Chains A and B, each alone.
Chain A
Amino acid sequence: MASANGKLLVTAILAVTLAAGAYSAVTAVFDWSDELIAANERARIAARLNSVLEPALRGRDLATTRLDVVDPELLGTDGPIDVFVLTERGAPMATVFATVAPHGYNAAINLLVGVSPIGAVTGVRAVRHRETQGLGDAIEAAKSDWILQFDDKALTTAPLAAWAIRQDDGQFDAITGATVTSRAVVRAVRDTLLYFEQHRDELYARAAEAAAAAEANDR
């Protein structure tokens, strides 16, 4: 049995070595990729932020302050969402909500909604969704122009009841074959504007405070 025991011992040593090797290899890859992945994430958000700003602001070097905001009623999720307040020399130029449309066809739809200081939509983009391919995925700007119809719309440009699709006597076209998706997005954009209307000053104040704190930290 000596050789059988020997083999068992070799196996045990190999198993421990392999486990340690696998552990350090994964750790090494993680350490190497960590920064890169975070940078990719930031680049993605920055590129996306740009896409919902009004054309005049795109590519301009605006100071961006990220806030955590919670409002399950109007922002579509129980957790905090990211709100970006973009300022130039302290003056708010735009606010971007990473809002959630909770009633998508297959799952919640993650949206970016850009809002100008006067409360008009400057752009909407679907960031992550699981809508049906070929039907609901027309909310992607790459696939159709549907999502562009929100540009320049504000709560003041039409009565609140008109913030709906045409089938529901509203002002927005629905995507053919994706009524549920269309309703979900229209409602999420409307709710985001309502939230902005109610909390604009608070958001700007929080952003100014956060920017001042960051500046104090830098010194």
Chain B
Amino acid sequence: MNPTTESWRAATAPLWRNNMALGQLIGLCPLLAVTTTLVGGLALGLASAAVVLVTSTTMALLRSVLVPFARLPLTLLILAALVTAVDLFSQALFYDLHESLGIFVPLIVVNTGLLAHAENVASRRGVAFTFVSALATGLGFLFALATLGALREIFGSGTLFAGVELLGGDGARALTLTLPFDGMLVATLPPGAFFGMALLLALRNRLTAIRPAETASAPEAPR
């Protein structure tokens, strides 16, 4: 394998093979808490993706000029400022959505997966690699949140895209699907989050077990 392909593979590993939630099992608290609906999952996923992209890319830009011990505090500074801004921004433009996500928007700041990415990838790799890898991390987390949200909403409430008008304005309301069944309550309750998560994990393990050659070579995150 030539080096370009290899580093491309490593950079995009967080999309699926090294997915933050499904591979590294990080960020599970917001994952399990906000995914009662697809829209909730999408919203928190987008916010987290934006935060990891900006934080890690900035840290990669500064990598060569910083003394190593200053990295962690500066990463935290950027993370905190960014999350505060995202929190205010979402309150200003998506007030009702922000209400329904509650504490989990400000809590993005303590998502270990994002900090681990800035520490493990941004402090070792170049800007381009970090950018792609951060994008993959964000989209991978978004994917996990959205999938679990969709699963739980379909089986729990019998709808899909309920509350989409909170994210996309009244015009998007037509996207909401009502399925011809009522849904099982348990899927929207906390145990349902664990069942759904277990299903996704089993699926991922099954798929990666079929192609063992693809599982290697991604930077390990601290747990």
Q: How long is the Cα–Cα vector from A37 to B88 in the complex, in angstroms?
A: 8
A40 lies within 8 A of B92 (CB): yes
B residues less than 8 Å from A10 (CB atoms): 65-66
Residues of chain A within 8 A of B93, CB atoms compared: 36
Determine if B78 and A22 form an interchain contact, defined as CB atoms under 8 angstroms apart. Answer: yes
CA distance A25 to B81 in the complex (A): 8
B91 near A: Cβ within 8 Å? yes
A29 pairs with B77, CB closer than 8 A: no
B40-78 interface with A by 8 A CB criterion: 62, 65-67, 70, 73-74, 77-78
The answer to whether B89 touches A134, judged by C-beta atoms less than 8 angstroms apart, is no
Query: Are A36 and B92 neighbours in the complex by a CB distance under 8 Å?
Result: yes
Residue of B nearest to A36 (CB): B92
Q: How far is the CB of B54 from chain A (nearest CB, A)?
A: 11
A133 at the interface (CB under 8 A from B): yes
Given contacts A7-B65, A14-B65, A37-B91, contact A134 B189 (CB under 8 A): yes
Do A15 and B74 contact each other (CB < 8 Å), given the known contacts A22-B81, A33-B91, A40-B91? yes
Contact status B77-A19, CB under 8 Å: yes
By a CB distance below 8 angstroms, the chain B residues around A8 are 67
Enumerate A6-21 residues with CB–CB distance to B below 8 Å. Answer: 7-8, 10-11, 14-15, 18-19
Instruction: Looking at the assembled complex, report how far the CB atom of B122 sits from the nearest CB atom of chain A, in whole angstroms.
Output: 14
> How far does the alpha carbon of A207 sit from the alpha carbon of B216 in the complex, in Å?
71
Chain A residue nearest to B64 (CB atoms) is: A7
- Taking a contact as CB atoms under 8 Å apart, the answer to whether A14 and B85 are in contact is no
Residues of A within 8 A of B137 (CB): none
- Which B residues are in CB contact (< 8 Å) with A14? 62, 65-66, 70, 74
Task: Specify which chain B residues have a CB less than 8 angstroms from the CB of A19 in the assembled complex.
Answer: 77
Verify A134–B188 contact, CB threshold 8 A.
Answer: yes
Q: Does A44 contact B (CB under 8 A)?
A: yes
A132 to chain B, nearest CB (A): 8
Number of interface residues of B (CB under 8 A): 24
The CA-CA distance from A161 to B91 in the complex, in Å, is 43
- A-B pair count, CB < 8 Å, reads 66
Separation in Å of the B204 CB from the closest CB of chain A? 27
Q: How large is the interface on A (under 10, 10 to 19, 20 to 34, 35 or more residues)?
A: 20 to 34
B84 adjacent to chain A (CB < 8 Å) = yes
Question: Could you tell me the dominant secondary structure of chain A's interface residues?
Answer: helix
Docked Cα-Cα span, A23 to B80, in Å, equals 10
- A29, B88: Cβ atoms closer than 8 Å: yes
**Contact mask A107-141 → B, CB, 8 Å, 1/0?**
00000000000000000000000001111000000
**CB pair B91 A11 closer than 8 Å:** no
Partner of A37, one of B77, B81, B92: B92
Beyond A18-B74, A22-B81, whether A37 also contacts B67 by CB under 8 A is no
Contacts of B8 in A (CB 8 A): none
Does B78 contact A18, Cβ atoms closer than 8 Å? yes
A195: interface (CB < 8 Å): no
Give the complex CA separation of A14 and B70 in angstroms: 10
Give chain A residues whose Cβ lies under 8 Å from the Cβ of B91: 33, 36-37, 40
Task: Tell me if B194 counts as interface (CB < 8 A to partner A).
Answer: no
CA distance A44 to B66 in the complex (A): 46
Q: In the complex the two chains form, is A37's CB within 8 Å of B95's CB? A: yes
- Rounded to whole angstroms, the CA-CA distance of A41 and B95 in the bound complex is 8
Jot down 24 A-B pairs with beta carbons below 8 A, ordered by A.
Answer: A7-B65, A7-B67, A10-B65, A11-B66, A11-B67, A14-B62, A14-B74, A15-B77, A18-B77, A19-B77, A22-B77, A22-B80, A22-B81, A26-B84, A26-B88, A29-B85, A29-B88, A29-B89, A33-B88, A36-B93, A37-B88, A132-B189, A133-B188, A134-B185
Starting from the known contacts A15-B74, A29-B85, A29-B88, 5 additional A-B residue pairs (CB-CB under 8 Å) come to: A7-B66, A18-B77, A25-B81, A33-B88, A134-B189
